[in-house]
Amino acid sequence: MEWSDVRIFLAVARAGTLGGAARALRISHPTVGRRIRALEQAVGHSLFQRTADGLVLTEEGNGIVALAEQMEEGAVAMERRLAGQEQNLKGNLRISSADWFGAYVLPPILADFSQAYPNVDVEILTGTRLFNLAHREADVAFRIVPFDAADVVQRRLFRLEYGVYIAEEAPEPVYGDGTGFRLITHDTSTGHFPDIAWLIESFPNARPVLRSNNRNVQGRMCREGVGIAVLPRVVGNQIPGIRSLDLPTPPPARDIWMGYHRDLRRLQRLRAFISTASNYLVNATA
């Protein structure tokens, strides 16, 4: 049984459709269907049941998922180990971060990096999803919480300061009150956000009117006069049309962490990027 077939089997099992697996693997829909049929013929069992809602694992298919995942882990570990021994400053580098970090922090870093290492192709993955470094979904990730995997090398990069913003033409809200004002808050289903809790406590009589998990959206809504927003200063200070409030107590700050899998610690293009990012952030936050 070839790993490429097992890889497709796992993708279909996770996506539930041939189309979803094709998009995840970046191959054609017919190729996925053909390889699954060939695999089922090779093992002599139907691995998926076709339903109106998609593909569901049969009893035989469900019985080999754990074995397939063990094969996946071994194959990915080999890829990481071999990638970590590459010495040429060329190839792909995949970076994962929150949307605001990718839009407001990474651009000047990547401008310097791309100028110094033009043969490295960079892909930026942003959003709330935590990409799996062990599976090489990303080579390096930036987060506001420490990494909890034992095989991830991590370092604290800098202290992220927050500010409170309002539209330039809006009147000044009263700290500790907020009557007559509205708040722009964050979707807290993905975790705890101390800055958002602080905002609500600091303006208890203001009415939360809009919630978003995207800091850029929050900042632009603030600019349109929707309400008061708390934003990383690196975001708020770059959005025209809003002003920072001078308050007696600032929102709580947070640490920014960078992590990568230990098997990639010798990957030259990764080390070059880490050096570029670290030098820039040290100078920018000094």
Q: Are residues 248 and 169 in the same domain?
A: yes
* Nearest one of 125, 120, 153, 151 to 137, comparing CA atoms: 125
Structure tokens at 46: 């139907």
Cβ neighbors of 95 (< 8 A, separation 6 or more) are 102, 106, 122, 123, 124, 125, 138, 139, 140, 141, 142, 273
Q: Are residues 130 and 150 in the same domain?
A: yes
Domain boundary among 83, 105, 139: 83
CATH code of the domain in which 14 resides: 1.10.10.10
* Nearest one of 134, 130, 164 to 145, comparing CA atoms: 130
Q: What is the pLDDT along the chain (286 residues), one digit of tens a residue?
A: 677 788 888 889 888 898 888 888 888 888 888 888 888 888 888 999 888 888 889 988 888 888 888 877 777 766 656 554 454 577 899 999 999 999 999 999 999 999 888 999 999 999 877 888 888 889 999 999 899 888 899 999 889 999 999 999 999 999 999 999 999 999 877 678 999 999 999 999 999 999 998 999 999 999 999 999 999 999 999 999 999 999 999 999 999 999 998 888 888 889 899 989 987 876 665 5
What range defines the domain where residue 20 resides? 3-83
DSSP string for 109-122: HHHHHHHH-TTEEE
> Quick one: 172 exposed, middle or buried, by C-beta within 10 A (0-12, 13-18, 19+)?
exposed
Q: Are residues 39 and 71 in the same domain?
A: yes
The answer to whether 219 and 235 have CB atoms below 8 angstroms apart is: yes
> Quick one: 33 exposed, middle or buried, by C-beta within 10 A (0-12, 13-18, 19+)?
middle
Q: Are residues 138 and 168 in the same domain?
A: no
CATH code of the domain in which 264 resides: 3.40.190.10
Q: Are residues 156 and 272 in the same domain?
A: yes
Q: Are residues 155 and 168 in the same domain?
A: no
The number of distinct structural domains making up the chain is 3
Q: Are residues 177 and 247 in the same domain?
A: yes
pTM of this prediction? 0.67
Residue with tokens 């699954």: 36
Buried b (16+ CB within 10 A) or exposed e, 111-143: eebeeebeebebebebeeeebebeebebbbbbb
Residue 267, CA distances (Å) to 96, 112, 152, 279 in order = 17, 19, 14, 18
Q: Are residues 21 and 136 in the same domain?
A: no
Q: Are residues 71 and 38 in the same domain?
A: yes
Q: Could you tell me which residues are beta bridge partners of residue 142?
A: 258
**Strand pairing class (162-167; 140-143):** unpaired
Q: Are residues 196 and 228 in the same domain?
A: yes
Q: Are residues 130 and 272 in the same domain?
A: yes
Q: Are residues 101 and 65 in the same domain?
A: no
Structure tokens at 154: 């991590």
DSSP conformation class of 265: T
> Quick one: 97 exposed, middle or buried, by C-beta within 10 A (0-12, 13-18, 19+)?
buried
The answer to whether 156 and 282 have CB atoms below 8 angstroms apart is: no
